[in-house]
Copies of this chain bind each other. A is one copy, B any other.
Amino acid sequence: MPKETFFNLPEEKREKIMAEVVREFRDYRYDEASINRIVQRSGIAKGSFYQYFENKEDVYFYLLALIGEKKMENISPALKNPGSLDFFSLLKEIYRAGIEFGLNHPDYLEIGNKMMRETSGTIWPKILEKFGPQGQDAYLGILQRAQNNGEIRKDLDLRLLARMMISMQMTLMEHYFENHGDKGYSLDILEELDQFFVILKTGIAGGKP
């Protein structure tokens, strides 16, 4: 966590700094991101940076936490009470929320994506340590409930499925933002989502087993 010093800063300055932090980690992954650039663009002394944050890791995880918070804020009521929806409705809601988040905070989305690809970077072990099971477990819980409800075939390996769904979600998001990101949120994407869910539900062959 940043030091007290940081939170005592005038809001404007604090935000200027965070804006540059966001920019840096949006444009570069962890190892490539440069504290030098951040302080230079923020117009603060290098020493000051280290009065605010413990080290590079500290800013990075603070940023991730901020993004996580923003994500939770923007989550729909439906997602807070997942038991109330059938699996596919829930899934659709997850995707919708994800896309909405990406539209509102494209930088954060990019940072999140970069994070998920840190696998071979020096920061990965620390990422795992802090967020490790979180992502997959959330999905796994949803899948298990769905399987119990008979919405998912009993013979599927849910751990594999959870993994797949996460990577599929990333892919779908990337596809969407490359093709529609600038046009803003529209019905297009909902239709694409529907299409995607039909595939998931009934297979790409058209449901004829």
Contact = CB atoms under 8 A, between A and B. Distances in A.
A192 interface: yes
A9 interface: no
A138 interface: no
Contacts of A201: 203-205, 209
A207 B206 CA distance: 9
A19 interface: no
Name the residue among A120, A122, A163 with the largest chain B CB count within 10 angstroms. A120
Contacts of A28: 120
A203 to B, nearest CB: 4
Nearest to A174: B163
A11 interface: no
Interface residues on A, range: 35 or more
Interface in A144-187: 151-153, 155-157, 159-161, 163-164, 167-168, 170-172, 174-175
A12 interface: no
B167 A170 contact: yes
Interface stretch (A63-71, A101-109, A111-119, A125-133): A111-119
A32 B122 contact: yes
A209 B204 contact: no
B171 A167 contact: yes
A160 B119 CA distance: 24
Contacts of A135: none
Given A31-B31, A192-B157, A192-B160, A204 B172 contact: no
Interface of A: 28-29, 31-32, 113-114, 117, 119-122, 151-153, 155-157, 159-161, 163-164, 167-168, 170-172, 174-175, 192, 195-196, 199-209
Given A29-B120, A151-B205, 7 more contacts: A32-B122, A117-B120, A157-B192, A160-B196, A161-B204, A167-B168, A207-B207
